[in-house]
Amino acid sequence: MDFILQPWAWYIGGPLIAISLLLYFYFGKNFGASKNFDTLCTLAGAGRVSDYFKKDWKDRDFALLFVIGLIIGGFISATYLIPNQSIDLNPKTVQELADLGFSSIGNQYFPDEIFGEEVFFSLKGFFILLVSGVLIGFGTRYAGGCTSGHAITGLSSLQLPSLLAVIGFFIGGIIATWYIIPILF
């Protein structure tokens, strides 16, 4: 049981992702989470508003099961497997984040300064989350997929657009980490 309670190393998680991806390819499916938003909008009746959502959601029912599995797995992990686990971060990283005003670094994965309840009910926090959601939604649609779809499926099938998208994701992450987040916080 101790094995399941500890974070898994790359040499365990990586092959598991590869096996999952091979199964997706074998059954003629594509891996990615962003298409599920299309499917959910189709289920909600968005096809009445836009022709883009006039699709047969049953073609993507496997992807909805994937998202349901993510939610259930995340709940089980957060509730039963790693409660109150400290995070092993580089001390320099902890100090730099503390200098930016993050107080709970090393004690939890999601800082209260970004994901705490008081942030959701503040004007600044609500605006940041709203703008972030719009940018992520636009970027996902514009790039033709999400980070997991491009980085896992696209790169493994040697697609040049996915390589360019992943490079763009990393550049965007670096810009956000070094310039945007310090300005906001």
Q: Report yes or no on whether pTM surpasses 0.85.
A: no
How does DSSP classify residue 8? P
Q: Which pLDDT score, from 0 to 100, does residue 175 have?
A: 94
Task: Give per-residue pLDDT as tens, 128-141.
Answer: 888 888 888 888 87
Confidence of residue 43 (pLDDT cuts 50, 70, 90): confident
Mean pLDDT of the chain: 82
CB contact at 8 A, 42 and 55: yes
Q: Which residue has the tokens 């089980």?
A: 76
Residue 55, φ and ψ in degrees, nearest 5: -135, 165
Confidence of residue 160 (pLDDT cuts 50, 70, 90): very high
